Amino acid sequence: MNSKKNINFLFVGVGGQGILTGSDIAAGVGLEAGYDAKKSEVHGFSQRGGVVESHVRWGDDVAAPLAEKGSVDFLIATELLEAARWIEWLRPGGAVLVNHQRIPPMSVTVGDAVYPADERILAAVETRTDDVTVIEGFATAERLGNPRLANTVLLGALSTRLDVPPETWLAVIERRVPPKYVELNCKAFWEGRRE
Amino acid sequence: MKRLLSGNEAIALGAWEAGVRYAAAYPGTPSTEILPALAQYAGVRAEWASNEKVALDAAIGASFAGGRALAAMKHVGVNVASDSLITLSYTGVGAGLVLVSADDPGSFSSQNEQDNRHYARFGKFPCLEPTDSQEAKDFTRFAFELSEQFDTPVMLRSTTRISHSKSAVEVKMPAGPREPGPLPPFERKPRKYVMIPAYARPRHPEVEARLQALVEYAESCPLNRVEWGDRRVGVISNGVAYQYAREIFAGFSFLKLGMTYPLPAGMIRDFAAEVEALVVVEELDPFIEEQVRALGLEVIGKEFFPATGELTLARVRESAIKAGLPVSHTPTLPHPDTPTLSIPPRPPALCPGCPHRAVYFNLRKLKLLVSGDIGCYAISVLPPFEEMDMLISMGASIGMAHGAKQAGCPDKIVATIGDSTFFHSGLPELANIIYNRGVACTMILDNGTTAMTGGQDNPATGVTLQGETTQAIDIEAVVRAMGVEDLWVVDALDVQGVERAIREATGIEGRPTVIIVNGACVFTPQFQRRPAVTVDLQVCNGCGFCFRVGCPAILKSGEADAKTKRPKAEIDPLLCTGCTVCLQVCPRQAIYQVGE
């Protein structure tokens, strides 16, 4: 039997950062590459500028649609603070791919809380793993002319860690994003592979 | 071909495969996406109803007329529809009728986490529960057959994790457009379809007989199956809980229930006899467990597995360990002594440009009591507004405000309700306050969409679910026709205008007043983004007034004012939509609009 190891992904960020699209693409790539795949997320109230998380699991026969705390292989964070918030979900030694972008929550804006410095956030993340990559996804996306592309840059970086050819990723991206954004997303994906 | 579909998309596909002719829903998380998915298929009439009862009523009519019909709603929507639902059990159906109830264990986007399987027992009709998207499709299709076979409504119960998870579904490409053609003339059966007492009474024994037939059928229902493994543990499970259980109890025996009402008593007894420890793993109430106990069987259940919140792998694992049951590999969690970073919470906020912002800013400023409703504006109960005092269900804002005043509440009270919620159930509440000489002020926040659920059309928007142009019901004309003379219509982004209207309306004694606040939701095509505003750091003194409008685009800058020592404001030009609410509240005119 062609047995495939389970791989758990957790995409986290802030409402509006493209978490749901990014995780949709990752799940689609898994299925395309011959895995069973599931993804799970929550819509509605929490999406209004709140925390967004989306689970993706690849495997032979995926049962639960969401992984368990401590069992995530790849934590993909489109925002720095969110990487720290979700770090306990990573398995020890798992990989963190984090977009270098700070989006202060309302609790910080109104002065009830302080947004920690980058170094402190990374130190918190590194208590769980040495495999942390900070990606200039936002800067790259801005350079490409659309800050919303940061999630696709992260997908490009993620793709280098997995045994699936980039063409499969590009094919799924093409199907998933609106036609007029396909070219830009493909560019962002290749930029991410260089990170 | 396998495709990743959400549970909701799969339900729509299953209904289409079953030849559904009519479907209706009121948007509600986690059920919302079912109807838009169904609306794309040829040969289906798919509609947004003004509320869940209306959706079910229309589906009942379609079914009586001989067309297969579906009504979809969130769990609390079934409460609204339940008046018709319970009597529908008496009439039975014409063509197959499926009610989709999407429950929300964990209350991710709901006011409670009720377990709607109880409705199946209450109404004495079958309940089917898929465990993934493939089953969501297959069970929906099956539900129509079952409905016709037993002349009964069938409830397909989903939950957030079924509706909003995607998994692989075998999809055969639709074989081209479907032209359903007209139905045959209506078959008149008043003794079945007209529930006057004399005709309802003889239907009740029919319901009981049908239930007995279903109880017998459950034993051979193909949706229930035994999966034998190690017999030291036998797990009875359903829905997404089954998926958690089959990871945690990998290798053990399972009785997987696809039809959770009525239950197959014989099958359960036989399964129990073969296993050492019998366990029920189900989300929310001990619905299966209590019926298993009633069979005289010993079972491990809710004394270990939580009855509140959604289940997760971790919760099933912890409960199993407490119950002394064997479990699969446990992940390594951080040592409890690991130093942790204090991470600021990130609660939901009103979007930049949101037309509700000036309303709650002013309500707070005027220190009014606010009776709230279901919608994005519920966010106003959180900082920095903290300006909502009661919220319970769709449309209730007006009734609660009215009752509080009638009972003698001395505070000035304002009910706030959105446009979609107003047509859902606000209309009878407004009629009531007018009829009973109530005195509260009602604010109808018309943002031109059903925003919280993702921007669906409603009776005030002028567009149907399938994209036709239709009559946009004029809220102002409706309110005037109801006889309200003290009516203000204001622009949502005019901070002073909103304040003036609230002051004037709440200043009127002895009769109800209405303020209609017009302003497009930022996610609608009608919303007009304007140039971003900027803070002049030379003028800003860090007074912090603009922070009180709760806009995610307004940030604290690194620069503190020399005198006040407080941080000056800064505006994120990418997030800012140029609504100018902050500009209008700034006492020092330190905020200006670029390019205007």
Domain range summary for chain B, segments of one domain joined by +: 2-218, 225-322, 357-518, 533-593
Residue B331's pLDDT is: 81
- Name the pLDDT band for A1 (thresholds 50, 70, 90): very low
Alpha-carbon distance of B417 to B218, in angstroms, equals: 45
CA-atom Rg of chain B in angstroms = 27
Residue for token digits 């051979």?
B220
Which pLDDT score is estimated for A19?
Answer: 92
- Look at A42 and B346 and tell me if their CB atoms are within 8 Å: no
Q: How confident is the model at residue A44 (pLDDT cuts 50, 70, 90)?
A: low
Does a structural domain hold residue A11? yes
Domain coverage including residue A150: 7-194
Per-residue pLDDT at A48 exceeds 70? no
pLDDT at res. A15: 84
Under-50 pLDDT residues of chain B: none
Give the chain B residue whose CA is nearest to the CA of A89. B333
Banded model confidence at residue A160, pLDDT cuts 50, 70, 90 = very high
Q: Considering CB atoms only, which of B331, B334, B347 is closest to A71? A: B331
Contact B168 A37 (CB under 8 A): yes
Instruction: Choose among B452, B397, B402: nearest CA to B422.
Output: B397
Per-residue pLDDT tens over the stretch A132-155: 999 999 999 999 999 889 999 999
Residue B378's pLDDT is 95
Domain B2-218 sits in CATH 3.40.50.970: yes
Distance (Å, whole) CA B395 – CA B372: 9
Classify residue A1: in a domain, yes or no: no
CATH of domain B357-518: 3.40.50.970
Enumerate the residues of chain B whose CB falls inside 8 A of the CB of residue A65.
132, 161, 165, 167, 240, 243
ipTM of the complex: 0.95
Interface contact A31-B168, CB threshold 8 A: yes
Given a cut of 60, whether residue A2 has pLDDT beyond it is no
CATH number of the domain where residue A156 is located: 3.40.920.10
Question: Which pLDDT value is given to residue B236?
Answer: 98
> Which pLDDT value is given to residue B471?
97
Contacts 24+ apart (CB under 8 A), B285-292: B285/B115, B285/B117, B285/B118, B287/B115, B287/B117, B287/B118, B287/B121, B287/B260, B287/B261, B288/B236, B288/B238, B288/B257, B288/B260, B288/B263, B291/B263, B292/B236, B292/B263, B292/B268
Residues of A in contact with B333 (CB under 8 A): 69-70, 88
Chain B residues whose beta carbon lies within 8 Å of the beta carbon of residue A111: 544, 547, 556
How much is the pTM?
0.96
CATH topology of domain B533-593: Alpha-Beta Plaits (3.30.70)
The class of domain B225-322 in CATH terms is: alpha beta
- The reported pLDDT for the residue numbered B596 is 56
- Whether A46 has a pLDDT exceeding 80, the answer reads no
Which residues, including other chains, have CB under 8 Å from residue B152's CB and lie 6 or more apart? B89, B92, B93, B125, B126, B146, B210, B214
Same CATH topology for B225-322 and B357-518?
yes
Residues with Cβ within 8 Å of residue B507, at least 6 apart in sequence: none
Q: How many domains does chain A have?
A: 1
Closest chain A residue to B341 measured between Cα atoms?
A124
Residue A4 has pLDDT above 60, yes or no: yes
Q: What was the pLDDT predicted at B181?
A: 87
Residues of chain A contacting B348 with CB distance shorter than 8 Å = 15, 45-50
Residues of B in contact with A47 (CB under 8 A): 348
Mutant choice from A109, A115, A121 vs B, greatest count of B C-beta within 10 A:
A109
